[in-house]
Amino acid sequence: MVDSGSAAETVADASEREALKRIFPRLPESSATIVGPGDDAAVLTAPDGRFVVTTDMMVHGPDFRLAWSTPEDLGWKAAATNLSDVAAMGAVPTALVVAIAAPQTLPVSALEHIADGFRAACAELAPGCGVVGGDLSASDTLTLAVTAFGDLQGRAPVLRSGARPGDVVAVSGALGAAAAGLRLLFAEAVDVDGVPDRVRFAAVAAAHPDLVGAQLRPRPPVADGPLAAEAGATAMLDLSDGLALDARRVAEASGVAIDLDRTALGDDPLTALTGGEDHGLLACFPPGTPLPGGFRPVGTVREGAGLLVDGHPFDERGGWDPYLEWDGHSG
Amino acid sequence: MVDSGSAAETVADASEREALKRIFPRLPESSATIVGPGDDAAVLTAPDGRFVVTTDMMVHGPDFRLAWSTPEDLGWKAAATNLSDVAAMGAVPTALVVAIAAPQTLPVSALEHIADGFRAACAELAPGCGVVGGDLSASDTLTLAVTAFGDLQGRAPVLRSGARPGDVVAVSGALGAAAAGLRLLFAEAVDVDGVPDRVRFAAVAAAHPDLVGAQLRPRPPVADGPLAAEAGATAMLDLSDGLALDARRVAEASGVAIDLDRTALGDDPLTALTGGEDHGLLACFPPGTPLPGGFRPVGTVREGAGLLVDGHPFDERGGWDPYLEWDGHSG
C-alpha cells in the first residue's frame, strides 16, 4: 500500500531526473527497441511497416483506490489493460510508454513498485514487451497514462466490424469475475461510512483471492489475440465494458445481431453479461473454425441488429462509465 | 477560459462515449492512419519499418493555470511540446494519441476547444499529423497526456550523443521568450495574494503578446528537425529545460564540452541560458555545414566536458522541475 505518511523519500525530495533514474532500471525492456529511454524520443521497430497503438489512463478515485491496490497492482493493471487492447487487434504487444503524474508526497519507492508491476505484467502477459519511454509530472491526483504498441506480423488488423451471419461468437478469459470482485470490495472492504479500508480489504482478499485478483490484477489472455487473428477471426474486441455492451458494439459495427447462449455464460449469467473490466477477448470466427487458445463458444452471429440472449433481445446496459458512475471519492 | 460555473453541459452530463463523439470530429486527421479512432486501437503506417515515439503530460497546477490558458491553448501546447520532441530526433511527426482526465464539472465545450487547439497546432506546425486515438477519464485534476509518433523517412535518428569537437552549435527558435513570458505572468497576471487573475492576465497579454504567446502557445520549429537531420546534424535535442541545462545534456551524452558565445544569445543572455520551455531545437553540425531552416550559430563543440560560455565554465542550473518548484497552487 502507499504510505504517504512515512519518512521515506518522496517525489518532492527527488528531482524528476533522479526519480526517473531510480525507476528506469526496474522497467521491462522491449525487444523492439532501436533507441530506448534517455533521448527526446524512443525509436522502435515496425517490421511490417505498420504499428498498432492504443492509450488508456488510470486515475486515482474513479479507476483505483489506494486502500485496495498496491503500487505494483497499479503498474500491473495499467500494463494489462493496454496489452489487452493491442491483443484485441490481433497484434503482439511490443512496447509501452508510461506517463505518471504523482502527488509530491508519494514516496519514490511507490514509483519503483509501480515499475515492478509493469515488469511483472509484461513478463507474464507479453514477454518481449517493455517500457521504452516515459514522463514524470507532479499532480494532486495520482494518474497513470499508458500508450501501448503492437506488431501485426503481416496480418490484417482484426476490427469490430467484420462479423458475418453464421460466425461463431467466442470468448477467451473469465466473464464477470472482475465485476464480482469490485462488488465485493465496495460491499465488504469499506468501513461503516463506505470508505475503502485496508484492514477489511485484507480479509476480503484472503477470502476471495480469485475475484479480487481479477479486479486488481487482471490477466488478459494476450497471446490469444494473435492466435485468433491467425485462425481467421472476423471481428474481435477487448471485453472492457461488460460482455453485453461490448457484444453490442461488435453487432453495431458489423451490421449484424449477436445471439448469446445463456448456458455458456457460467453460474451467474447476469454478472457475466453486465460486469465490466473482464479484459478477456470476444471474437467471431467463421463456422467450423477450430477455436484457438482459450477461446470457447458463447453464441452465434445472426442477420439483424443488436444483442440477443437465447434468441431474445437483451437491453440491459452493464459496464462502467466513470463520468456517469464515479461518486467523487478516492480512498 | 474555462468557466466551470456556467450552465453549459458538463462532462458529468455526457457519457464518455457521447463526449468522445463530440470531440473526435474536431480533431485533426493523420495521413498515416490505416485504422483510425473507434476500435480497440489504431493502426498507423511506419514506412521505413521504424517509428519515433515520445510522451508528455500536462497537469493543471504545475504545468498550466486556467486563469491564463484557454482550453484551445492547452490543446495547442500539449501538441506543440510533443511535436517538438519528435522533430528533435530528426523525424516528421505523423500522429498523436491523446488521453484527457477531466473534472466532472468541466463543460464539454472546453474539451471541444482543447480538440480545436490540437487541430490548429497540427495544421500550423506539422501538416499531415493528426490525432488517431484517445481516452477520456474523470479526475479532480485536469490532465492531458499526449503520445506523439514520427517518421524518420529512412534517416538515422539524431541523438544527443553524436556531437564532436569542432562542430558548430546552433539553435532554431527563440531563446528565453517563454521563460520571460512566465515571469511576467507570475509578476503581473496575479492578484494581491499572488493568485492567477484573468483580468490582470488580459492586460499583460495585451501588453506583451509575443512573450505571453511564447509561454502559452509555443511555436516550435518542427520542420527544422528533419531539415537538420538531412543536413547532417550530429546531435540534437528539444530545448525544454533551458539552453544551459539542455546544452549540458548534449555535452554529457556526447563526451564533449559545449562553448556558447554570449553575444549570440540576444539582449538577455542569462534568461536565454536559464529559461525553460523554449521548445526550440539545439543541434550540432560538422564545421562548414550550411545551417538549414531557422538555425543560427550560438557556439562550438570542444574537447572536454560540461558547458562553457565564452570559454568560461557556466554552472547555473536553469530550467523548471515541477517536483522542485511547484508551489502546490493551481489557479
Check pLDDT > 90 for residue A328.
no
Q: Which residues does chain B have within 8 Å of residue A58's beta carbon, measured at their own beta carbons?
A: 137
Per 3-state DSSP, what percentage of chain A is helix, strand, and coil (rounded to 5)?
35, 25, 40
Does residue B308 sit in the same domain as residue B242? yes
The answer to whether position B159 is within a domain reads no
Cα separation, B92 vs A9, whole angstroms: 40
Domain of A100, CATH number, reads 3.30.1330.10
Q: Which of B104, B145, B324 sits opposite A145 (nearest CB)?
A: B145
Helix H or strand E segment including A248: helix A243-254
pLDDT at B315: 82
Whether A105 contacts chain B with CB within 8 A: no
Check pLDDT > 50 for residue B135.
yes
pLDDT at B6: 47
B292, B227 in Cβ contact below 8 A?
yes
Shortest alpha-carbon distance between residue B247 and chain A (Å): 13
- Look up residue A85 and give its amino acid: D
Q: Nearest to residue A54, comparing CAs of A78, A30, A36?
A: A78
Check pLDDT > 90 for residue B249.
yes
Does residue A205 sit in the same domain as residue A295? no
Q: Nearest to residue B281, comparing CAs of B87, B34, B70?
A: B87
Cα separation, B320 vs B214, whole angstroms: 16
Whether B159 contacts chain A with CB within 8 A: yes
The answer to whether position A7 is within a domain reads no
pLDDT at A8: 74
Count of the separate structural domains present in chain A: 3
What band does B19 get if pLDDT is binned at 50, 70 and 90? Answer: confident
Average pLDDT over residues A317-322: 55
Does residue B21 sit in the same domain as residue B36? yes
For B244, other C-beta atoms within 10 Å of its C-beta total 23
Q: Give the nearest chain A residue to B93 (CA atoms).
A: A41
The answer to whether the Cα torsion of B214, B205, B6, A137 is positive or negative is positive
Please give the distance of CA B19 from its chain centroid, rounded to a whole number.
Answer: 26
CA-to-CA dists, residue B221 to A39, A71, B227, B282, angstroms: 18, 39, 10, 11
User: B 209-248 residues with CB below 8 A of A?
Assistant: 236-238
Does residue A34 sit in the same domain as residue A124? yes
Does residue B53 sit in the same domain as residue B39? yes
Q: What are phi and psi of B237, to 5 degrees?
A: -150, 165
Does residue A28 sit in the same domain as residue A122? yes
Cα separation, B273 vs B316, whole angstroms: 9
The answer to whether position B330 is within a domain reads no
Shortest alpha-carbon distance between residue B104 and chain A (Å): 7
Cα separation, A35 vs A42, whole angstroms: 5
Average pLDDT over residues A165-176: 97
Cα separation, A217 vs A208, whole angstroms: 13
Average pLDDT over residues B78-105: 97
Whether A327 contacts chain B with CB within 8 A: no
Check pLDDT > 50 for residue A32.
yes
pLDDT at B5: 44
Check pLDDT > 60 for residue A106.
yes
DSSP E strands: which ranges in A87-165? 92-102, 130-138, 143-151
pLDDT at A5: 44
User: B 297-326 residues with CB below 8 A of A?
Assistant: 321-324, 326
Shortest alpha-carbon distance between residue B159 and chain A (Å): 7
Q: Is A327 among the annotated ligand-binding positions?
A: no
Higher-confidence residue: B14 or A187?
A187
Does residue A187 sit in the same domain as residue A268? no
The answer to whether position A227 is within a domain reads yes
Q: pLDDT tens-digit profile of B162-180?
A: 999 999 999 999 999 999 9
Q: Is B259 among the annotated ligand-binding positions?
A: no
What band does B52 get if pLDDT is binned at 50, 70 and 90? Answer: very high
- Look up residue A37 and give its amino acid: P
Cα separation, B97 vs A134, whole angstroms: 14
What band does B117 get if pLDDT is binned at 50, 70 and 90? Answer: very high
The answer to whether the Cα torsion of A66, A68, A73, A75 is positive or negative is negative
The answer to whether position A292 is within a domain reads yes
Does residue B228 sit in the same domain as residue B265? yes
Cα separation, B41 vs A149, whole angstroms: 9
pLDDT at A170: 98
Does residue B43 sit in the same domain as residue B135? yes
ipTM: 0.93
The answer to whether position A4 is within a domain reads no
Q: pLDDT tens-digit profile of A5-15?
A: 445 789 888 87
Does residue A229 sit in the same domain as residue A274? yes
Check pLDDT > 90 for residue A99.
yes
A64, A71 in Cβ contact below 8 A?
no
Does residue B22 sit in the same domain as residue B140? yes
The answer to whether position B163 is within a domain reads no
A30, A131 in Cβ contact below 8 A?
yes
Average pLDDT over residues B44-56: 98
Cα separation, B174 vs B278, whole angstroms: 7
Q: pLDDT tens-digit profile of B294-325?
A: 999 999 999 999 999 999 999 876 555 555 56
Q: pLDDT tens-digit profile of A35-62?
A: 999 899 999 999 999 999 999 999 999 9
Interchain CB distance below 8 Å, B15 and A324: yes
Higher-confidence residue: B327 or A257?
A257
Average pLDDT over residues A302-310: 96
What are residue A238's DSSP bridge partners? A281
Average pLDDT over residues A135-147: 96
Domain encompassing residue B196: 180-217
Cell numbers that stand for A104 in this block: 509530491
For A143, other C-beta atoms within 10 Å of its C-beta total 27
Whether A64 contacts chain B with CB within 8 A: no
Q: Which residues does chain A have within 8 Å of residue B53's beta carbon, measured at their own beta carbons?
A: 41-44, 95, 97, 132-133, 147, 149
Q: Nearest to residue B307, comparing CAs of B266, B251, B254, B237?
A: B251
Q: Which of B40, B45, B88 sits opposite A54 (nearest CB)?
A: B40
Q: Which residues does chain B have within 8 Å of residue A86's beta carbon, measured at their own beta carbons?
A: 40-41
pLDDT at A324: 53
Cα separation, A121 vs A74, whole angstroms: 10
Average pLDDT over residues A171-199: 94
Q: Is A13 among the annotated ligand-binding positions?
A: no
The answer to whether position B328 is within a domain reads no
Does residue A247 sit in the same domain as residue A201? no
Cα separation, B233 vs B282, whole angstroms: 10
pLDDT at A6: 47
Domain of A267, CATH number, reads 3.90.650.10
What band does B4 get if pLDDT is binned at 50, 70 and 90? Answer: very low
Q: Which of A17-31, A306-320, B221-235 has the highest mean pLDDT?
A: B221-235
As a three-state string, the secondary structure of B3-14 is CCCCCCCECCCC
